[in-house]
């Protein structure tokens, strides 16, 4: 991506996700449609394709699944009753609500998002969640993931889903993750990452940035940033992100990548769904 002012990047991303949040029920006007485009792939289909079970999807308040995920971090976070969990870039609350069911009444889940419209949407969903489950253990805070509105050493588990790639200062994100984690705390992050560098023209596309592509970094670089922040036992697992035929419906602007990559290449040759896990030293 061309050198842009950090605030300009954040404003562009914020407006994109504010627009998604403003649309009724889910971003495309149907409770099961994908926010990412007007394509035929639904939010429910996306969720199932990246590891969410039908039971998990059915347990969510209507409108919590906006089709913006690239993995299921709660499935790998080994959440336990009574833990405090922090979700970076929590959106409408999908992973917050799943985590809340796992930590139960004695636990707490905090969602942080920099988009006021998303926070408002998530808080409305939280009311429905409490009515349906009897759990009142979630809260949503407005803030940036580079500077989390969370005290030092207070969180057992940090999760995030397809969000860190959007940040223009990923090193600071990882430093703040380490800051808020308790000693011995752990992280489970799902994110889009690169298997090989994108063509230069793709990196310069702001459309691909808000679509989570241009901001993605190589898998090895993600590991280095996490370790540099002080995390240990850092491991990654990469899996294919929805098949190439679905990419335009899932990620806006992916057609540009098809136009820009060398002949014979596919988006999946570059982009992968990465799960990164690690711990803060005890």
Q: What is the CATH number of the domain that holds 242?
A: 3.40.50.150
Higher pLDDT, 265 or 71: 71
Taking only the tens place, the pLDDT of each residue in 129-144 is: 999 999 999 999 999 9
How many other C-beta atoms can be found within 10 angstroms of the C-beta atom of residue 64? 25
Calculate the CA 260 to chain-centre distance: 26
* Residue at 197 is within a domain: yes
pTM listed for this prediction: 0.88
Q: What are phi and psi of 59, to 5 degrees?
A: -80, -5
Residue 103 to residue 83: CA distance in whole angstroms: 6
Q: Is residue 157 part of a domain?
A: yes
Domain residues for the domain of 64 are 6-280
What's the domain count of the chain? 1
* 249 neighbors 37 (Cβ within 8 angstroms): yes
Please name which of 249, 241, 261, 257 lies closest in space to residue 28, comparing C-alpha atoms: 249
pLDDT by residue (tens digit) across 247-263? 555 555 555 666 666 77
- 18 vs 277: CA distance, rounded Å: 29
For residue 194, the surrounding DSSP H or E stretch is strand 181-194
Residue 91 lies inside a defined structural domain of this protein: yes
């Amino acid at each position: 991506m061309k050198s842009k002012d950090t605030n300009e990047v954040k404003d562009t991303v914020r407006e994109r996700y504010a627009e998604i949040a403003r649309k009724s029920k889910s971003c495309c006007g149907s409770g099961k449609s994908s926010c990412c485009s007007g394509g035929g792939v639904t939010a429910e289909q996306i969720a199932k394709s990246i590891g969410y079970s039908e039971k998990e999807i059915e347990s969510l308040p209507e409108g919590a699944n906006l089709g913006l995920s690239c993995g299921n971090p709660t499935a790998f976070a080994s959440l336990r009753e009574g833990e405090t969990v922090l979700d970076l870039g929590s959106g409408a609350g999908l992973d917050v609500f799943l985590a809340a069911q796992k930590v139960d009444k004695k636990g707490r889940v905090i969602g942080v998002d920099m988009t006021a419209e998303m926070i408002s949407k998530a808080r409305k969903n939280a009311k429905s969640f409490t009515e349906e489950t009897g759990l009142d253990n979630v809260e949503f805070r407005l803030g940036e993931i580079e500077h989390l509105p969370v005290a030092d050493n207070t969180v057992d588990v940090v999760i995030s889903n397809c969000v860190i790639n959007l940040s223009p200062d990923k090193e600071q994100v990882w430093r703040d993750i380490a800051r808020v984690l308790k000693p011995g705390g752990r992280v489970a992050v799902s994110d889009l990452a690169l298997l090989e560098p994108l063509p230069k023209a793709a990196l310069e596309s702001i459309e691909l940035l808000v679509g989570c592509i241009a901001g993605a970094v190589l898998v090895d670089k993600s590991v280095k940033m996490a370790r540099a922040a002080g995390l240990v036992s850092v491991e990654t697992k990469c899996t294919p992100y929805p098949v190439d035929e679905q990419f335009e419906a899932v990620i806006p602007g992916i057609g540009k990548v098809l136009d820009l990559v060398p002949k014979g290449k596919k988006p999946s040759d570059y982009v992968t769904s990465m799960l990164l896990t690690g711990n803060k030293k005890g």
